[in-house]
Structure 1
Amino acid sequence: MEFTRGGRLEVRITPADVGKRVSVRQLTSSGGAPAKFTDTVGVLTSWNEGVLLITRRTGEGVHIPESSLVAGKVVPAAPARRRGPAADFLELARVTARAWQPVESERLGEWELRASSGFTRRANSVLPLGDPGLPLDEALTRVRTWYEDRGLPAYVQAATGAAGTQEEFCAELEARDWRREVSAEVRIGALAPIGDLDAEVERVRLARSLDEAWLQRYQRIGVPGPHVLTVLGSGPSVWFASVPGVTGGPPAAIGRCVVDGRWAGFMAVEVDPAHRRRRLATSVMTALARRALEEGASAAWLQVESENDGARALYDGMGFATHHHYHHFRSA
């Protein structure tokens, strides 16, 4: 990482660069330890009272005292992906939202307020893709009231890590005591290689609707109500997959896929712990991918929590790569 001009370290950023991607170097020391250089790359989301806030791709905010800066510069946007389908943030945000639709929604300017009796944060949070038509503090007050009226906590879903994502907005939420609770990666990849995997797809049953057995394997709910069935059944073209387990028992593995134009989204891929390491998740995804290819899809997406190392390793092997991160912020 080169900061010098003519052999000298220089700070070439100012508060006017808020909103730009920057790279900075600071000199830090702790206790009696020798001082050391630390580099940070991300979006400069604020510069107030002598402290910079830089939001990394993962959504992590780094506070840096101005007095510790030894170098800094504006840097180009992160390089374009070298594999998989081309996609921008807004396209993916809308596609992923259509695959997991709420029971109830209301517009606040260009924001969408979503509620589904508390079933998942995605279906019970604001999707802020644009201008709410109000000053931010007033809009957030309206959001809190809307969710309070439904007996729900107020959540906002926002994204970081790609061109056009919402680093500054995330910083504004945190400055107003909205706290990030859960972060996940949105990953994309080519669909055909998933359909070409060597997997036991003959074991996988595909259906347009879910049944009681499928719900028994799904681990995100207790007793499913109508709101759960509404959310799971939503989307342009929905498919449910299952691998039979013990006779009379829940499936050994399940999955869900939503086909939407060129995109196929994979969700709810779960395997009975007693049947793991038998490539059942791969079989489920391969069968769903082949059906999506038949419907004309060519690109795949999925969401995985940042701490789910097992799932992330599986998706790495299938050719998925992280496009951006999304986060759910909860009102204090």
Structure 2
Amino acid sequence: MPAISVRRLEEAGLNAWPALRVALVDGWLLRFADGFTKRANSANPIHGGDDDLPDRVAAVERRYAAAGQRSIFRLSPLAPAGLDGLLDGSGYRRIDETVVETADMAGIAIEADPDFRVLAAAGEWVEPASILQQEPAETRPTLQAMLERMVPSACFGLLLRDGMPAACGLAVVEDGLVGLFEIAVDPARRRGGLGLAMTRSLLAWGRAQGAETAYLQVVAGNAPARALYAGLGFRESHRYWYRARDAA
């Protein structure tokens, strides 16, 4: 499998999880979604050099303050040298280190579960997915609004057991890549292979859409999930993390 560049994976991941509002400031993508998830409410340095970093940080802080949100920075290998240290010295804690992994679709045994269902619209998926993910009901309108802004093709997947949602997941296809997101299993049904079945089902959908490479993002400390993905052939591409100050 040819190596997929960090930039391509980062751009695909940002497209797959859209914000409600964005601003491009001197090569840094600022994303706003009423505070729902750090991915959609953080500054992403994706272009630009390492000059004037204190001024750039101050500009980001002003933008988020004007929106009534705290400043959060998402740092990948695309971030300029020196930014992580500057934020560390300014009181921003490093949190939620995440591993981006990729796999060659040709090397994965893929088959959709017989009880895998693809819902027609984001609005049908949000409620059962939020319940499985144990997200508060008040976040559902924001999540639905975000997903409805997605440009690439998406699969809003549910896995049923006894006619009821037992697992959920989101797959997004763009230019030969399929990204896997929001995979969650009913807490009462964990350790029963549902996470693997959900992952394989989403991959099967992606392959049917012409995807050749799969990618996903998993918290670095989530050993069970990383072991599951390693068994499917996923390998680390790069990592990102957040810098955030404690909420006032």
Q: Which has the higher helix share?
A: 2
Match runs of 1:108-127 below 5 Å: 108-127=25-44
What is aligned with 2:131?
216
Deviation at residue 200 of structure 1 after TM alignment = 5.9
CA distance in 2: counterparts of 1:183 and 1:295, whole angstroms: 30
Residue from 235, 240, 259 that aligns with 2:156 = 240
Deviation at residue 151 of structure 1 after TM alignment = 1.8
Q: Select between 218-227 and 113-122 the one with higher mean Cα deviation.
A: 218-227
What is the CA deviation profile of residues 267-286 of structure 1, one whole-angstrom value per residue up to 9, with x for unaligned ones? Answer: 11111122223222222222
**1:200–1:302 CA distance, 2 compared to 1 (3 A):** closer
CA distance in 1: counterparts of 2:52 and 2:221, whole angstroms: 35
Do the aligned partners of 2:49 and 2:80 also contact (CA within 8 Å) in 1?
no
1:300 lines up with 2:217 in the alignment: no
> CA RMSD of the aligned region, Å?
2.2
1:154 lines up with 2:71 in the alignment: yes
Residue from 202, 214, 222 that aligns with 1:288 = 202
CA distance in 2: counterparts of 1:100 and 1:132, whole angstroms: 25
The one-letter code of the counterpart of 2:60 is: V
CA distance in 1: counterparts of 2:79 and 2:66, whole angstroms: 30
CA distance in 2: counterparts of 1:235 and 1:284, whole angstroms: 23
Between Structure 1 and Structure 2, whose CA radius of gyration is higher? 1
CA distance in 1: counterparts of 2:120 and 2:2, whole angstroms: 27
What is aligned with 1:14?
none
Do the aligned partners of 1:100 and 1:235 also contact (CA within 8 Å) in 2?
no
What is the CA deviation profile of residues 136-182 of structure 1, one whole-angstrom value per residue up to 9, with x for unaligned ones? Answer: 2122111111111222110111124xxx6655332232233322122
Deviation at residue 132 of structure 1 after TM alignment = 7.7
Do the aligned partners of 1:103 and 1:115 also contact (CA within 8 Å) in 2?
yes
Deviation at residue 291 of structure 1 after TM alignment = 1.7
CA distance in 1: counterparts of 2:157 and 2:41, whole angstroms: 25
**1:166–1:219 CA distance, 2 compared to 1 (3 A):** farther
**Could you tell me the percent identity over the aligned residues?**
27
Match runs of 1:306-321 below 5 Å: 306-321=220-235
What is the CA deviation profile of residues 281-318 of structure 1, one whole-angstrom value per residue up to 9, with x for unaligned ones? Answer: 22222222122112111001100111111111111111
Do the aligned partners of 2:50 and 2:80 also contact (CA within 8 Å) in 1?
no
1:101 lines up with 2:15 in the alignment: no
Structure 1: which 5+ residue stretches go unaligned? 1-83
**1:261–1:106 CA distance, 2 compared to 1 (3 A):** same
The one-letter code of the counterpart of 2:143 is: V
What is aligned with 1:74?
none
TM-score by length of 1: 0.67
Residue from 119, 130, 137 that aligns with 1:207 = 119
The runs of 4+ residues in structure 1 deviating greater than 4 Å are: 164-167
**1:87–1:165 CA distance, 2 compared to 1 (3 A):** farther
What is aligned with 1:265?
179
Structure 2: which 5+ residue stretches go unaligned? none
TM-score by length of 2: 0.88
